[in-house]
Structure 1
């Protein structure tokens, strides 16, 4: 497979000859206001531009949307992606939203097979139990997805989740060889992390030490608090430099 980080959590994935686009956010730099009640809310989002023209990322066979927060599915993506593209979503509510945007082939992730590639939806949680008790209605349901094919390594895209029992169970059940973690330690002020922080990345590594971890969701929105430099330094400190990849925007890997 070839996996390219576009920006934030937007990925281009070539998997068993099928081209997927994951969680597209195509907005120009600074289009959205900072999120109130979060760190650095004076900054506009996205805080950086795309690494190339949008057209470089729209030539795909299907789109996967783990959830429909603005930083995973935005108006620019909806406007610029061809309406006939198959779009895979986590549940009927997101399916209905994307259909309302005139996409004609909107499917559910769970149990799907697309051009020989199997997709399996996985549970996650957009913050700790304490965070969800206060902000759960706003944060909503999130999901990950596991990609499998006989000729490819198993890929687990965890989505907007913190380390918890769901993630531990997903790792144990699917034994992925490549794991994408949204690990910018995005936070709500006074509550804490709503995606993985560096300790969560370490917990994933300890649970599945042979897997290659790819860190995304970094340095592109106002409430991201963990930098790439900090995560690379932490990975070196914990002896997991060879297992933790921290790509720059636009960077791609072959697995």
Structure 2
């Protein structure tokens, strides 16, 4: 489905606005993505809204991640763009791609309704989140239908093969998942998750041909492993574009936690230099993207 961009060409959001307006308020039929902060986003397909990787703490609530870039800084680096209650409002289900603090924090555990359906990647994460009081925890294995939306679990790895040869790092980095969202009449959306560029990602792009790719693009790094990021960065943004030239790329996981080495400003300069600025959206915290005809 062809969608206008901010500049009037190619595939991108037809409308960009701030606040918490629902998709039905815009008159658009396509999916709506609101970037909250860090990797936290709300995705609305039709009448179904998913809150993905909620990190809801106030600015500076947690120490920096040890043994990472700029660990002396406290997380989150910035506050929420709207009250946590407004972030939670209207949520039909939660998706937690993995349980690292910057994707599933204490504030989210305390404030989210314990009865909301919550999707996780595996039995270990399900057991942990059930122990935190959540009553309807579902393991996303293969594909699942929910609220008229098909969710597909996708693979990835939270760092290079080199990092995973070190047992302590492999344990700390752990397992992650991505998710592809499909629904009739909606643009297929791929939330890639905390992974580096690898065959799992390439295969997902080839199989689903998503119209929208939400990319965790902050190039986070561990101390002593500079130049070997544990999530994607600017060059990976270009790789995704080259794999799917007509897809809209929404770059998130930027400017909010200490170990990100790539900023919004630097990514914007890079995509401008590469001539792909019309295909890449770098939303501000709180900004909403509406996809549709």
TM-score by length of 2: 0.86
- The residue that corresponds to 1:162 in the other structure is 196
What value does the CA root-mean-square deviation take over the aligned residues?
A: 0.8
Q: CA deviation at 1:108?
A: 1.4
Q: Deviations over 1:12-52 (max 9, x none)?
A: 11112201100000111111111121111110111111001
CA distance in 1, matches of 2:104, 2:288: 21
Instruction: Choose from 242, 250, 253 the match for 1:217.
Output: 253
Q: CA deviation at 1:90?
A: 0.4
- The residue that corresponds to 2:122 in the other structure is 91
CA distance in 1, matches of 2:115, 2:66: 35
Alignment of 1:82-121 (within 5 A): 82-110=113-141, 111-121=143-153
Asked if structure 2 preserves the Cα contact closer than 8 Å seen for 1:65 and 1:87, the reply is: yes
Partner SS for 1:231: helix
Instruction: Choose from 85, 97, 102 the match for 1:66.
Output: 97
Q: Deviations over 1:64-91 (max 9, x none)?
A: 0100100001111011011110000001
- The residue that corresponds to 2:183 in the other structure is 149
TM-score by length of 1: 0.98
CA distance in 1, matches of 2:224, 2:236: 19
CA distance in 2, matches of 1:105, 1:35: 30
Matched, 1:136 2:170: yes
- The residue that corresponds to 2:5 in the other structure is none
Structure 2 unaligned blocks of 5 or more: 1-30
Instruction: Choose from 37, 40, 64 the match for 1:34.
Output: 64
CA distance in 1, matches of 2:179, 2:34: 16
CA distance in 1, matches of 2:139, 2:45: 19
Q: Deviations over 1:91-149 (max 9, x none)?
A: 11111111111111111123211011000100011011112222211100000000000
Partner SS for 1:47: coil
Partner SS for 1:25: coil
Partner SS for 1:137: helix
Partner SS for 1:187: coil
CA distance in 2, matches of 1:201, 1:161: 12
**Structure of greater relative contact order (alpha carbons < 8 Å, 6+ residues apart):** 2
Matched, 1:19 2:46: no
CA distance in 2, matches of 1:182, 1:136: 20
Q: Deviations over 1:198-249 (max 9, x none)?
A: 0111111111111000001000011111010110110011111011110110
Asked if structure 2 preserves the Cα contact closer than 8 Å seen for 1:16 and 1:151, the reply is: no
Structure 1 unaligned blocks of 5 or more: none
Partner SS for 2:62: coil
Runs of 4+ in 1 over 6 A off after TM superposition: none
Partner SS for 1:168: helix
CA distance in 1, matches of 2:133, 2:74: 28
Q: Deviations over 1:131-169 (max 9, x none)?
A: 222221110000000000012010000000011111111
Bigger-Rg structure (1/2): 2
Partner SS for 1:136: helix
